[in-house]
Structure 1
Amino acid sequence: MSVVILYGTETGNSEVVADAIADVLAAEHDPSIYDMSEFAVEDLDPADFLVVICSTYGEGELPTGAEPFAEELADADPDLTGLRFAVFGLGDTVYEETFNRGGEIIADLLGSRGATQVGEHARHDYSSEITPAKLAGEWARGISGLIDPVSVS
């Protein structure tokens, strides 16, 4: 099964996380990485597994790199039934009320169009001592087994 990794970023941290996740998933899967600002909603395919990495910017908004994808998703309102996805969010608990809101916004947009979120919604905290890439690698090992759907006989 192909894995599509989409990242939305303001400063580039989500791209670093996307690379770390792809490195782990490449052992058993075929990951491709795309900047959300350059990925068309019409290219979402239920046959793929989607990994979303999204930071939070400003007062709980999407980063600039995620805005075009989110706007297209809202405007096109596609039926994403059958699409499975996992989310890795980046934020800082210094901003209590908006901590990791960017990832939540994208997850809500996908879920409200029929996609199914699987696994733990990872939430990196910049106030912690663990780097985003390290947490992402650990998280990717955890979701790797969830990527291929269980076949029912």
Structure 2
Amino acid sequence: MAAVILYGTETGTGELVADAIADVLAADHDPAIYDMAEYAAEDLNTDDFLVIVCSTYGEGELPSSALPFADELDEEKPDLAGLRFSVFGLGDTVYDDTFNRGGEIIADKLVARGAVEVGEHYRHDASSTEKPAKAAEEWAENLKAVIDAA
């Protein structure tokens, strides 16, 4: 099963994480990486496994590159029944109540359209010593089995 990796970022960390995930999935899942700003919701395909990488901006909002995709999900209301996805969120626990909200917002929008979230919804903490790309590699290793089961 092919993997489509969509990232939403403000500073570029989301893209680095998406690249790290793609490197792990490359051998078995032919990953394609896209900035959410350049991906149409109508292109989502239930034959693919969707990986969302999304940072959190401001006070728990989506980063600017995720907004066009999120708006399109709201406006077009595509039927995503049968689509399986997993989320790698980026945030900072300094922002207590809004920690990792970006990934949660996108996940909620996909679920509202009929998609099913599977596997671990990872929530990276920028205040930790763990590097996001390294955490993403470890998460993606576990994700391979989830994709195979989808």
TM-score (norm 1): 0.96
Q: 2: distance between equivalents of 1:113 and 1:69?
A: 13
Q: How does 1:19-58 map to 2 (within 5 A)?
A: 19-58=19-58
User: Does residue 12 in structure 1 map to residue 24 in structure 2?
Assistant: no
Aligned match of 1:142: 142
Aligned positions, number: 150
Shift of 1:27: 2.0
Letter in 2 for 1:47: D
Q: Give 1:148 deviation, angstroms.
A: 2.6
State the alpha-carbon separation in 2 of the partners of residues 111 and 5 from structure 1: 17
3-state SS of paired residue (1:148): helix
Q: Quote the Cα distance in structure 1 between the aligned partners of 2:123 and 2:106.
A: 13
Q: State percent identity of aligned pairs.
A: 69
Code of the residue aligned with 1:128 in structure 2: it is: S
Query: CA–CA distance in 1 between the matches of 2:121 and 2:19?
Result: 18
* Backbone CA RMSD of aligned residues: 0.7
Higher helix proportion, which one? 2
User: Runs of 5+ in structure 1 lacking a partner?
Assistant: none
The gaps in structure 2 that reach 5 residues or longer are: none
Over 6 Å off, 4+ runs = none
Map of 2:69 onto structure 1: 69
Write the deviation string for residues 64-94 of structure 1: whole angstroms up to 9, x where unpaired: 0000000000100111000000000000000
Q: CA deviation at 1:29?
A: 1.1
